């Protein structure tokens, strides 16, 4: 969840993201700005999360904020901690970078408990590969990998655990700053239409009628 205080003229309003298009328009109507385009607004305060405070005192694209909010709202387990620690490590401070980071968390394994070598190895591979066999947790290869990771000196101590960067996993830039990657967030979506033009691909969601 992201909550911003935005300003238009002499008026301000709070908006929570992610939100529906209807909710966004209603919030903008409170400051008589529902017809203003493009959706780039001045942020006077990041109410939460505090990790995104660098968005204050600058103009941001609300469509990008909303898309990022959807991505963050779908984080599972320790992914939010991964996201913030990787963000700080890479020095990302733009919405396109953050959107792309949300699709690349498998590049940044975050090990919360470094007391068990086998667990370190398993969690590392689970993050990078997305899955591991469920029946071989006692396989010594995991403990061996865990020891190699710790001894490598590549781990970065953070307040949420030890962060690694898997150099064999390339950083994919799915968002080019113009068209959002396909991402199904709303359970009310009936179908997704794909449109291609000028070398770009755009996805439009068709929702159920309310």
Query: Domain range for residue 123?
Result: 76-175
Let me know whether 110 and 129 are in one domain.
yes
Number of domains, the chain: 3
Could you tell me if 197 and 168 lie in one domain?
no
Residue 105 CB contacts under 8 Å (≥ 6 apart), including other chains: 79, 82, 83, 86, 127
Identify the band that residue 163 occupies on the pLDDT scale cut at 50, 70 and 90: very high
Q: Write down the pLDDT at residue 123.
A: 95
What is the per-residue pLDDT for 209?
44
Residues 143 and 170 in one domain: yes
What pLDDT digit, counting tens, does each position of 34-50 carry? 888 878 999 999 999 99
Higher pLDDT, 54 or 137: 54
Helices and strands in the chain, H and E counts? 6, 9
Is 117 found in the same domain as 139? yes
Q: Which residues pair with 43 in a beta bridge?
A: 6, 58
Q: Of the candidates 46, 58, 60, 56, which has an alpha carbon nearest to the alpha carbon of residue 14? A: 46
E strands, the chain, in order: 2-8, 11-17, 40-48, 58-61, 110-111, 156-158, 161-163, 189-197, 200-207
Helix (H, G, I), strand (E, B) or coil at 115: coil
Q: Domain check: are 24 and 95 in the same one?
A: no
Say yes or no: 118 and 156 in one domain: yes
Q: Which of 76, 149, 69 is nearest to 116 (CA)?
A: 149
- pLDDT tens digits, residue range 63-114? 999 999 999 999 999 999 999 999 999 999 999 999 999 999 999 999 998 9
From residue 73, alpha-carbon distances to 11, 89, 166 in Å are 28, 22, 25
């Amino acid at each position: 969840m992201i909550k911003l205080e935005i300003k238009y003229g002499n008026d301000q309003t709070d908006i929570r993201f992610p939100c529906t298009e209807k909710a966004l328009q209603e919030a903008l109507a409170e400051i008589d700005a529902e017809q203003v385009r493009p959706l780039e607004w001045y942020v006077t305060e990041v109410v939460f999360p505090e990790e995104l405070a660098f968005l204050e005192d600058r103009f941001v694209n609300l469509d990008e904020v909303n898309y990022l909010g959807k991505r963050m709202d779908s984080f599972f387990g320790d992914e939010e901690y991964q996201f913030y620690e990787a963000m700080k490590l890479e020095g990302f401070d733009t919405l396109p970078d953050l959107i792309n980071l949300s699709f690349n968390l498998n590049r940044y394994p975050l090990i919360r408990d470094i007391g068990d070598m086998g667990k370190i190895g398993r969690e590392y591979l689970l993050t990078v590969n997305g899955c591991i066999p469920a029946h071989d947790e006692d396989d010594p290869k995991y403990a061996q990998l865990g020891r190699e990771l710790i001894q490598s000196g590549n781990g970065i101590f953070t307040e949420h655990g030890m962060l690694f960067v898997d150099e064999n996993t390339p950083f994919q830039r799915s968002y080019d700053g113009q068209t959002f990657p396909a991402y199904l967030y709303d359970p009310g979506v009936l179908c997704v239409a794909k449109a291609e033009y000028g070398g770009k691909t755009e996805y439009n969601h068709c929702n159920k009628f309310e």
